Structure 1
């Protein structure tokens, strides 16, 4: 056997692997090289571009009631019916008859006779008495908390502690909590000047906040459950003396008001948890504004307020 065919076979065998290696496409080599690079620890991770701000929107958050007001349910379930039973008046429920029309004069003597004089006086007309029936049961319209700061005449910054305290007690801010009618804590300015106290008209001297709805009942609950039981030797809210005339302006308005000293403000749980945040505590007045007007309005208003476990006593 000659050596020529063997040499040709060996050469052909050595050329086949080279042809196979050359036949691998360039894309596969690049892919293999890139995969080998990603496996190395020194390679940097790929960074994704952030989304444009126009592609996402903030979802609408609706702040709704978190719990049912116990004092509101107490009024609608039991107190309203009791007030209807205690304050109902059959006389007010009956509609008065219509007055007879004035007849024209029949004779010349009646036509020329002078009319009787009209009784005049210096007293204002009596407020119309509110009729109490099923559709008009006495109820609370609002609760007003008012604080007078005498030091604000010389230094306006002393009002900040009173504003912070009332905001903590009431939880009211302008249009806060989804309530559009909330005005928050308001600063009251003087209407008239008083030279004896160095007071000029327009100077801020006090702050107040008006509570309505569930916020009103939440404040009453804090006052009755946490504050009043901790007052030492507290007999109750003093009643007006029995000699007070029933036709006085205070008796014809259905507003019950009483005041507390500065120590009482520290008993509210909103302030007691962080008393050091308030440089000074102030005394305050609470006004319960009801829907009653006219005769016996003040007495019926006290009956309504006492239904929320606020005691009264006679001096």
Structure 2
């Protein structure tokens, strides 16, 4: 039997109970929980350099532990020389055990490695209880070998929760250990 991720155990043992008490939910199904995490990267230079897109895709796969898929442009944009259907990015959707493991590594290992880190933006909620985080360099993850990267690039991390409001989602993430700015 596989072991339960550390962050998930923390959620089940303490965070869920604290949230139920704090927001006085009547049912355990009302307690906000993390549904999925989407890690993505847009690679504008992939139009000229296909090797760059392959590099980013493999790095996202390495960071998350799940194979990333290439994303295509939805519509043509002449100013950026992008045609509809061209591969210009990569993304991966994490759920279950892999999601909890990734969140644990992000919060406890990767974010503290950011240069001059003072906490993540506490206003990056979308109004529906989902949180978006921009990471400027993929090299903060210990899985990435600095010598083997093609180009230093950024990542987008979207944490989708079942919370109804931003305040509930912020409390959930704060109790899980997300280092918000004071």
Length-normalised TM-score, structure 1: 0.54
Q: Quote the offset at 1:233 in angstroms.
A: 2.3
Work out the CA distance in 2 between the residues paired with 1:192 and 1:299: 35
Asked if residue 286 in structure 1 is aligned to residue 171 in structure 2, the reply is no
Asked if residue 69 in structure 1 is aligned to residue 5 in structure 2, the reply is yes
Check the 8 A contact 2:120/2:179 in 1, yes or no. Answer: yes
Work out the CA distance in 2 between the residues paired with 1:230 and 1:250: 26
Q: Give SS of 1:226's match.
A: helix
Match of 2:168 in 1: 300
Asked if residue 82 in structure 1 is aligned to residue 18 in structure 2, the reply is yes
Q: Quote the offset at 1:292 in angstroms.
A: 2.3
Match of 1:164 in 2: 58
- Structure 2, gaps ≥5 residues long: none
Work out the CA distance in 1 between the residues paired with 2:51 and 2:89: 12
RMSD: 2.0
Residue of 131, 134, 141 corresponding to 1:268: 141
Work out the CA distance in 2 between the residues paired with 1:87 and 1:162: 41
Match of 1:257 in 2: 132
| Higher RCO, Cα 8 Å, sep 6+ | 2
Question: Cα deviation per residue 1:70-104 (whole Å; 9 max; x = unaligned)?
Answer: 11100001010111112236xxx6xxxxxxxxxxx
Residue of 223, 227, 249 corresponding to 2:106: 223
Work out the CA distance in 2 between the residues paired with 1:87 and 1:285: 30
Q: Quote the offset at 1:291 in angstroms.
A: 1.1
Q: Give SS of 1:292's match.
A: coil
Greater percentage in strand: 2
Check the 8 A contact 1:164/1:278 in 2, yes or no. Answer: no
Work out the CA distance in 2 between the residues paired with 1:88 and 1:158: 49
Work out the CA distance in 2 between the residues paired with 1:135 and 1:68: 20
Q: Quote the offset at 1:224 in angstroms.
A: 1.9
Residue of 81, 86, 92 corresponding to 1:198: 81
Check the 8 A contact 1:161/1:281 in 2, yes or no. Answer: no
Q: Give SS of 2:116's match.
A: coil
Structure ID, larger Rg = 1
Asked if residue 145 in structure 1 is aligned to residue 39 in structure 2, the reply is yes
- Structure 1, gaps ≥5 residues long: 1-63, 94-132, 173-183, 242-248
Runs of 4+ in 1 over 4 A off after TM superposition: none
Aligned length: 182
Question: Cα deviation per residue 1:135-180 (whole Å; 9 max; x = unaligned)?
Answer: 32110011111111110122222101111111111111xxxxxxxx
Q: Give SS of 2:31's match.
A: coil
Check the 8 A contact 1:140/1:291 in 2, yes or no. Answer: yes
